[in-house]
Structure 1
Amino acid sequence: MKTKELKKELKLLDIFCVSTGAMISSGLFILPGLAFSQAGPAAIFAYLLAGFFCLPTLFSMSELITAMPKAGGDYFYIMRGFGPLVGTIAGFSSWFALSLKAAFAILGISAYLNVLGGIPLSVSALWLSLLFVLINLIGVKFAGRFQVAMVFGLLAILVAYIFMGARFLNFSNFSPLFPKGIGPLFSVASFVFISYGGLTKVASLAEEVERPGRNLPLGMMLSLLATAFLYAAVVFVTIGVSRPESLAVSLTPVSDGARFIGGEPFAILIGLAAVLAFITTANAGIMTASRYPLGMSRDKLLPPVFQKVGTLFKTPFIAILFTGVFITAVISLLELKLLVKVASSILILLYIFANLTLILFRESKILSYRPKFRSPFYPYMQVAGILGGLFLLIEMGSFIIFLTSIFLLLGIIWYKLYAQKKVSRDSALMYALERLIAKDKELISENIFTELKDVVVARDNIIADRFHKLIENAKVLDIEEPLKMEDFFKKASDVLAEDLRLDSGSIFDKFINRERESSTLLRGGLAIPHIIIEGRNIFRIVLVRARAGIIFPQDKLAHIIFLLLGSSDERNLHLKALAAIAQITQNIDFDQEWLKAANEDELKNIVLLAERRRG
């Protein structure tokens, strides 16, 4: 089945709102009381610490999704990093976890509607599920705009709560700051960590984001900063205005604080904010979860029907409907509390894999892996993220880890029974291993390298102009031994003569005569010999890597050579090709990448993917 691209309609504001809306829900409106009961006023710092724990995964995921902005987010790059077995598990895990969080949010809305209006929980949950599915079927742009409106309404109410509550603070409530010592700070941080679980949901929408290299990492970072500030500020005000003994046992701590600040009307307003929070979480959950079946189907891990994209709204309607049916079934039939804990442990596991995948892609040194954003402090940031994730996973408890293992086993069984016989894909892990046997060239595969090149072309809207097509069809000479200039031109002339069915000797003479007029060695290691021949509509480029060097006059060495040959009617193309090569070779890393390239395709793609003026 031909893969259909999704429409790029999400902007920076949409990314910020999807990510923020996915985070602010139960972590803010339910957990602060429980956190206070364990750590006292230090719960404020526990929320900030939990946000800090997110940073390694945020940086790793930002790099990976700017290198591979495709539907499926973390599934897509874990699949490309570790192969189809781990990719199958990652895809199911992400879809399962996000779907359950959406279901939990829908139940949260239904609970509030039941309290406020007496609407039966099961009835409102069913209709809400249908509503969110319909919103997402209409289009990601509409769903994104809906998310923006909901998030700004939520933020406005929370900011009002912070400023109004600041006048009623009782600072004696903050003493002692650490009533049970420093120890509970870390356990509570792991407890509230899942409050930030929605931060990376937006990764699954990467294919539908305008300028993903800028908007994805920036939107996620701004969202984390804003959410961490809101969490800390709201918890600070709630502690300051509440009686400690009441706060410690409250499951509606923010509403209780609002009642003290502004009476029943303000408590109702905060209740509205809670509903908005659950709405944004549910909408973001369905929007992002539905992209995982789409990505897995493209990789043949799920039936091809999940690839269907509607002609009217350009949304993956089968994947959205499938996700909506699953959420409705979960709400109707299953005990959510335990499943949400399993989903939380799966998310932590995926965070660990995000950091491992980044390390794998960096160390595999695939030249077509070209992220627009690079994680700082590599690899220390990623190692810290892996260790932090393992710590949080242990904190979940042995029973939850056991249930998570059962779910992962089901993913393995699906892969063995359905996907294994349908998919053949290499990975960054295989590529890294192949580097160890690079001399056995018949063992080297190009799947992951070529796919990443295609992703970069789509991400950067690279136009396949005539120079681009010339490079794609160019001959490549990869010369290991040192050669004198004359011997090199003889070798290159034979290649060109065979391609053009011309006389090798006349081509050789033109190269020698051109070099006698003035040297084509432009700078240390780079030469661009170029000649004009008789005929019409003729133009060829030969790419040359000479590891030991081509010896030009005065014993100057060239390791990077672009040979250009064209007829006189192609003078404009000749000049454009020279200008393009000049731009490309000015890149500070060009020489190093050229000499390290593993094969001919990598040499071509260094040129094809380079930034330059096109047209």
Structure 2
Amino acid sequence: MTRKIFWKKPISSLLDASSGDKSLKRVLGPGGLLLMGIGAIIGAGIFILTGIASANYSGPALIISFMVAGAACLFTALCYAEFATMVPVAGSAYTYSYVTLGEIWAWIIGWDLVLEYLVIVAAVSVGWSGYIVHVFMTLGLYLPPALINPFGLNGGAINLPAVLIIASITALLVKGARESSNFNAVIVTIKVAVILIFLMIGVNYINPTNYTPFMPYGWSGVFKGAAIIFFAYIGFDAITTAAEEVKKPQRTIPLAIVGSLIISSILYIAVAAVLNGMVPYFEFKTTAAPVAYALEKVGIRWADIIVSVGALCGITSVLLVNMFGQTRIFFAMSRDGLLPKTFSKVHKNFKTPINGIILVGAVASVLAAFLPLNDIVELVNIGTLAAFTIVSAAVIVLRRQRPDIERPFKCPFVPLVLAAAIVFCLFLITQLPTVTHLRFLVWLLIGLAVYYFYGRRRSNLTSKHSS
């Protein structure tokens, strides 16, 4: 048993699987993939988390929190780029762990990614709901509290707007990667334009006194804020889940990963600086739509509507790309036999893993309908940080095990970059609340039970070795 759980999947078999009947169609080019990365990263961080992190953790020093989180992601992104160009198949960190560390670690990271993407979709859809409610209120339309809040919060019964947007994204994903990419390109263009409009307007309403005190919660608050807004950066991971559907992945993936991360970081830091200059940090405690709130506070009503619409576009793109990523993780795990084979079934006409898409949409809808935003955000961050740590370590392991493998892109300054990625991620994990650690542990224990009673018995590797 002990030896079996550490069996590794040969890279050759991964590449063979990605060209067989259960493979996905390569339809994404460099522009589409770059916009997918920007679409996944920019959205929740600017339009939702800036308020939460500023009010409760960082204050005006939120710009430093973004720098810390961005640095951790950049180091990790270089590790992902090396793997994604070497093994351009669906699965992201799950697949990389299977090749380097063995089946049990692949299962753990895959189970971890299931949590990451499901909770991202749920959290972001709750933010989307907050903005659509804000738009309706601005237009004089008030929705019943029972239909816009989770059960037990402010008289709520179900967050219906969050459910409806997830259902819409699910239907789009079923249609295919090209259609999803084209839709994403349109809404990313809109949201970047809206962010630039906000910056041009907001810079004229900065009050320098709002930057004092700069660190109301000290350095501890800055680092805790970085751990929370880390959620905003992790969209680049979704780029690697699409590796099997990318044309010329060896060149396209590194450019898309690094390019989207740099562009997003610049916009995040600029928005954080302007936002905290417009409104005192503590006022963001009362809103789930901080950018629209800041414009409303300074009396720019017309811009408030524009930004809210842009926020809806931005958050929609985050939902789209992260749901895309989740379904590809399911697809890869199912194709390896660790999850039921039905999730790797590819639709005859659309060439998409339709059953996995529908399941992800259903589960995410339930989470979004009944859970509050703060608990969701903290839970996803610890899962992502754990995944990033394992991927960074796996790069070192595979370089030592298989130095002969061709690496179209090599992570520079090894082992310094890898060590920095691991240290940053582990440090940010320590900054999350203890209750988040406990919830994550419970999730992992459930996952190990599923693997023991199902995955290890049905694994393709087990069947191969048995025969």
Q: TM-score, normalised by structure 1?
A: 0.65
- Counterpart position of 1:371: 407
Q: Matches of 1:338 and 1:256 in 2, distance apart?
A: 22
Shift of 1:206: 0.6
Counterparts in 2 of 1:84 and 1:376: CA distance versus 1, 3 Å: same
Counterparts in 2 of 1:128 and 1:249: CA distance versus 1, 3 Å: closer
- Counterpart position of 1:45: 64
Counterparts in 2 of 1:334 and 1:33: CA distance versus 1, 3 Å: closer
Range with bigger deviation, 25-34 or 209-218? 25-34
1:27 aligns with 2:45: yes
- Counterpart position of 1:385: 421
Q: Matches of 1:252 and 1:197 in 2, distance apart?
A: 20
Q: Matches of 2:342 and 2:26 in 1, distance apart?
A: 22
Q: How does 1:69-218 map to 2 (within 5 A)?
A: 69-115=88-134, 116=136, 117-119=141-143, 120-121=147-148, 122-175=159-212, 177-178=214-215, 182-218=219-255
Higher alpha-carbon Rg: 1
Shift of 1:241: 2.4
Counterparts in 2 of 1:292 and 1:225: CA distance versus 1, 3 Å: same
Contact residue 129 and residue 324 of structure 1 kept, 8 A: yes
Between the aligned residues of both structures, percent identity stands at 26
Select which of 386, 395, 415 maps to 2:431.
395
Query: What is the identity, as a one-letter code, of the residue corresponding to 2:413?
Result: F
Query: What is the identity, as a one-letter code, of the residue corresponding to 2:133?
Result: N
Shift of 1:356: 0.9
Q: Matches of 1:82 and 1:182 in 2, distance apart?
A: 36
Q: Matches of 1:45 and 1:407 in 2, distance apart?
A: 31
1:292 aligns with 2:329: yes
- Counterpart position of 2:442: 406
Contact residue 43 and residue 188 of structure 1 kept, 8 A: yes
- Counterpart position of 2:320: 283
Q: Secondary structure at the match of 1:136?
A: helix
Cα distance per residue 1:103-149 (max 9 Å; x no partner): 22222223333341545334433332221111011110000111111
- Counterpart position of 1:4: 22
Q: Secondary structure at the match of 1:420?
A: helix
Shift of 1:260: 5.0
Contact residue 72 and residue 204 of structure 1 kept, 8 A: yes
Contact residue 71 and residue 206 of structure 1 kept, 8 A: yes
Counterparts in 2 of 1:297 and 1:251: CA distance versus 1, 3 Å: closer
Contact residue 124 and residue 315 of structure 2 kept, 8 A: yes
Q: Secondary structure at the match of 1:290?
A: helix
Contact residue 72 and residue 292 of structure 1 kept, 8 A: yes
Counterparts in 2 of 1:375 and 1:408: CA distance versus 1, 3 Å: same
Contact residue 3 and residue 307 of structure 1 kept, 8 A: no
Contact residue 334 and residue 341 of structure 2 kept, 8 A: yes
Counterparts in 2 of 1:314 and 1:161: CA distance versus 1, 3 Å: same
Provide the aligned length of Structure 1 versus Structure 2. 427
Select which of 52, 68, 81 maps to 2:87.
68
Contact residue 239 and residue 247 of structure 1 kept, 8 A: no
Q: Secondary structure at the match of 2:458?
A: coil
The answer to which structure has the higher strand fraction is: 1
Counterparts in 2 of 1:136 and 1:383: CA distance versus 1, 3 Å: same
Q: Matches of 2:367 and 2:286 in 1, distance apart?
A: 29
Contact residue 59 and residue 282 of structure 2 kept, 8 A: no
- Counterpart position of 1:246: 283
Contact residue 54 and residue 60 of structure 2 kept, 8 A: yes
Range with bigger deviation, 415-424 or 6-15? 415-424
- Counterpart position of 1:263: 300
Q: Matches of 2:263 and 2:328 in 1, distance apart?
A: 26
Query: What is the identity, as a one-letter code, of the residue corresponding to 1:54?
Result: C
Counterparts in 2 of 1:174 and 1:312: CA distance versus 1, 3 Å: same
Range with bigger deviation, 137-146 or 410-419? 410-419
Cα distance per residue 1:288-319 (max 9 Å; x no partner): 10011110111111122222111212111111
- Counterpart position of 2:347: 310
Counterparts in 2 of 1:88 and 1:40: CA distance versus 1, 3 Å: closer
Counterparts in 2 of 1:29 and 1:126: CA distance versus 1, 3 Å: closer
Q: How does 1:545-584 map to 2 (within 5 A)?
A: none
Q: Matches of 1:107 and 1:309 in 2, distance apart?
A: 30
Shift of 1:85: 1.4
Q: Which of the pair has the greater relative contact order for Cα pairs under 8 Å at 6+ separation? A: 2
Contact residue 293 and residue 319 of structure 1 kept, 8 A: yes
Select which of 271, 275, 297 maps to 1:234.
271
Q: Secondary structure at the match of 1:302?
A: coil
Contact residue 97 and residue 340 of structure 1 kept, 8 A: no
Shift of 1:31: 2.9
Contact residue 330 and residue 336 of structure 1 kept, 8 A: no
Select which of 421, 434, 444 maps to 2:457.
421
Shift of 1:371: 2.2
Counterparts in 2 of 1:90 and 1:183: CA distance versus 1, 3 Å: closer
Q: Matches of 1:71 and 1:263 in 2, distance apart?
A: 45
Select which of 354, 361, 376 maps to 2:398.
361
Q: TM-score, normalised by structure 2?
A: 0.85
Cα distance per residue 1:370-409 (max 9 Å; x no partner): 2211001101111111111111111113221111111111
- Counterpart position of 1:581: none
Shift of 1:186: 2.8
Cα distance per residue 1:68-107 (max 9 Å; x no partner): 1111111111121211112112112212211221122222
Q: Matches of 1:123 and 1:259 in 2, distance apart?
A: 25
- Counterpart position of 1:466: none
Contact residue 164 and residue 261 of structure 1 kept, 8 A: no
Q: Secondary structure at the match of 2:349?
A: coil
Alignment RMSD (CA, Å): 2.4
Question: Is there any run of 5+ residues in structure 1 with no aligned partner, and where?
Answer: 427-444, 447-615
Cα distance per residue 1:24-70 (max 9 Å; x no partner): 23321233334334444322122122101112210100101111111
Shift of 1:346: 0.8
- Counterpart position of 1:570: none
The answer to which structure has the higher helix fraction is: 2
Q: Secondary structure at the match of 2:419?
A: helix
Q: Matches of 1:225 and 1:208 in 2, distance apart?
A: 23
Q: Secondary structure at the match of 1:378?
A: coil
Q: Matches of 1:231 and 1:320 in 2, distance apart?
A: 30
Counterparts in 2 of 1:249 and 1:26: CA distance versus 1, 3 Å: same
Query: What is the identity, as a one-letter code, of the residue corresponding to 1:18?
Result: M
